[in-house]
């Protein structure tokens, strides 16, 4: 299926590894131009070099938890690409129980990024906003209450935003991954140890496996594309059915 993303100008934050990196690759394969950021200069440069063979990538160091940097990154990225069509807010503090850090990055930084992006988006041009949420927002999440809480707030914020920008023809959605395994990630380390935590998390999933970044990225690309032109204000779980509660 042609997702009609060729020529689209895309921002992806936290794009140096894992889900963010896979999202960038999915957009590049579809012919989009992408601007990426991360905090670690070496990781970001390595990711940009790896991605450059797949398409046009611009990279810039930015910290979504530092006041002013989200808007500065958007301005820089839009300048590099000559405009902006899609923004994917992927950065998370992953701060577990730390409310201050979680709010600074996952909510305040995300909102600053999104608001700056909306100023660069044209009306009725197929533009849209996607935030990467988490299955943790939909279940009880012991020991990571702050992380789960800000992800739940992200869903609420995007639902509200979807109504605010609908008259401009702009969409806003959340894609919420479940347990995803990638090199260097939490579950990769747990798999190496093959302890009770790993065994329990695999057993919890109906498919008896964890997801991959590519499985999340494909959903993000589809939701960002004109093929999903009537989808807005949604929270799409990509968790292999691990969340048993009913979403109404």
Domain edges within the chain: 9-182+212-238
Cβ neighbours of residue 34 under 8 Å, at least 6 residues apart?
10, 11, 12, 15, 24, 27, 28, 51, 55, 56, 57, 58
Tokens of 89: 């807010």
Collapsing DSSP states into helix, strand and coil, what is residue 108? helix
CA distance 170 to 128: 5
CB 46 within 8 A of CB 22: no
Collapsing DSSP states into helix, strand and coil, what is residue 165? helix
List Cα–Cα distances, 42 to 21, 79, 90, in angstroms.
Answer: 14, 23, 19
Q: Given 27, 73, 147, 182, which residue is catalytic? A: 147
Nearest to 41 by CA among 15, 61, 20, 59: 61
Looking at residue 125, what is its pLDDT? Answer: 96
Looking at residue 197, what is its pLDDT? Answer: 85
Q: Is 147 a catalytic residue?
A: yes
CATH of region 9-182+212-238, choose from 3.40.50.720, 3.40.50.450, 3.30.1490.100, 1.10.260.40 = 3.40.50.720
Looking at residue 1, what is its pLDDT? Answer: 83
Q: What is the pLDDT along the chain (248 residues), one digit of tens a residue?
A: 899 999 999 999 999 999 999 999 999 999 999 999 999 999 999 999 999 999 999 999 999 999 999 999 999 999 999 999 999 999 999 988 999 999 999 999 999 999 999 999 999 999 999 999 999 999 999 989 999 999 999 999 999 999 999 999 999 999 999 999 998 888 888 898 888 888 988 999 999 999 999 999 999 999 999 999 999 999 999 999 999 888 77
Q: CB count, 10 Å around CB of 248?
A: 3
CB 208 within 8 A of CB 200: no
Looking at residue 19, what is its pLDDT? Answer: 97
CA distance 157 to 174: 10
Looking at residue 46, what is its pLDDT? Answer: 96
């Amino acid at each position: 299926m042609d997702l009609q993303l060729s020529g689209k100008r895309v921002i992806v934050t936290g794009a140096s590894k894992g889900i963010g990196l896979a999202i960038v690759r999915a957009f590049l394969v579809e012919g989009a131009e992408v601007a990426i950021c991360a905090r670690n200069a070496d990781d970001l440069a390595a990711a940009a070099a790896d991605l450059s063979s797949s398409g046009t990538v611009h990279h810039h160091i930015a910290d979504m938890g530092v006041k002013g940097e989200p808007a500065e990154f958007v301005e820089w990225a839009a300048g590099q690409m000559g405009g902006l069509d899609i923004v994917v807010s992927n950065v998370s503090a992953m701060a577990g129980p730390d409310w201050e850090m979680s709010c600074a990055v996952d909510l305040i930084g995300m909102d600053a990024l999104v608001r700056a992006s909306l100023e660069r988006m044209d009306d009725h041009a197929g533009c849209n906003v996607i935030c990467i949420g988490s299955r943790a927002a939909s279940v009880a999440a012991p020991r990571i209450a702050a992380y789960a809480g800000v992800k739940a707030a992200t869903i609420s914020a995007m639902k509200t935003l979807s109504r605010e920008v609908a008259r401009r023809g702009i969409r806003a959605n959340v894609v919420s991954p479940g347990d995803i395994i990638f090199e260097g990630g939490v579950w990769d380390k747990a798999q190496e140890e093959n302890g009770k935590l790993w065994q329990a998390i695999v057993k919890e999933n109906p498919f008896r496996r964890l997801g991959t970044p590519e499985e999340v990225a494909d959903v993000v690309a589809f939701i960002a594309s004109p093929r999903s032109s009537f989808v807005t204000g949604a929270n799409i779980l990509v968790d292999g059915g691990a969340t048993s509660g009913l979403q109404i």
